[in-house]
Amino acid sequence: MNRAGHIPGSCTVYLLRHGDSSIDSVRRFIGQFESSLNEAGRLQAEWWHQELAGIPFSGFYCSALQRSIETARIIAQPHHSSVTILPGLNEINLGSWDGMPISEVKRRFPVEYQLRGADLAGYRPPGGESFADLSARVLTTFEKIIQHFCGNLLIVGHAGVNRVILCHLLGMQLANLFCLGQEYGCLNILEYSRKASVILRLNVPAKIPHR
């Protein structure tokens, strides 16, 4: 990938979602439930490892969840750089729903499931966070990164994490965050300068061969 146009004194953020870490074909609520990259996820990370190898990064950041750490470390290898792990970038905490099939949540928590659908930004699953909670936590961490560092930065986040950042930049309501695609292993490029912030690329997929 060609390096994004860089403005002196600016910050270019390469914001990725971690590679595929699905454990089966069942649709689940996945927040801070731990899972490692599967074969497809490793291939996605390795593709970005090669594609981004020529970009002079100033820093590499990821969440404290294994799938994010693995992705960031694979991509950082050609740069011989360590990865800074920031729990503030962790995916949303889904409490007692975390890792549970969506069909089971609907069966066991029918009222709560409907309440969440009616208030996506504000509803907290039992023992978990709302997307408003997630946004406050993530944006605090994200803004500290971009305020203290310039140049090219790589951040490996999660679907929810990336969406709340993008909603903030676009001025979108959190209730609409699922309108933004964030596939496994996708890349977004964000340019920050003294005057403005611009989304240069959105949801760019890793190009791995079909098997």
108 token code pair: 């066991």
Question: CATH number for the 11-204 domain, one of 3.40.50.1240, 3.90.226.10, 3.40.50.300, 3.40.640.10?
Answer: 3.40.50.1240
At 26, the amino acid letter reads V
The rounded distance, in Å, linking the Cα atoms of 188 and 209 is: 21
DSSP state, 26?
A: S
- In 3D space, the residue among 18, 27, 13 whose CA is nearest the CA of residue 66 turns out to be 18
DSSP state, 82?
A: -
The rounded distance, in Å, linking the Cα atoms of 13 and 26 is: 32
Q: Among the listed ranges 17-26, 112-121, 132-141, 144-153, which one has the minimum average pLDDT value? A: 144-153
At 70, the amino acid letter reads E
Q: Among the listed ranges 40-44, 49-53, 192-196, which one has the minimum average pLDDT value? A: 192-196
Tens digit of each residue's pLDDT (9 = 90 or more) over 57-92: 999 999 999 999 999 999 999 999 999 999 999 999
9 token code pair: 């004194």
32 token code pair: 């801070």
Residue 2 has pLDDT above 80, yes or no: no
Residue 4 has pLDDT above 90, yes or no: no
Residue 196 has pLDDT above 50, yes or no: yes
Q: Which residues contact 17 (CB under 8 A, 6 or more apart)?
A: 156, 157, 158, 159, 162, 182, 183, 184, 185, 186
DSSP β-ladder status, 187-192 and 11-17: antiparallel
pLDDT (0 to 100) of residue 42: 97
Q: What's the mean pLDDT when you consider all of the chain?
A: 93
85 token code pair: 């792990």
The rounded distance, in Å, linking the Cα atoms of 71 and 159 is: 14
**Predicted model pTM:** 0.92
What are the structural domain ranges in the chain?
11-204
The rounded distance, in Å, linking the Cα atoms of 90 and 158 is: 7
pLDDT (0 to 100) of residue 79: 92
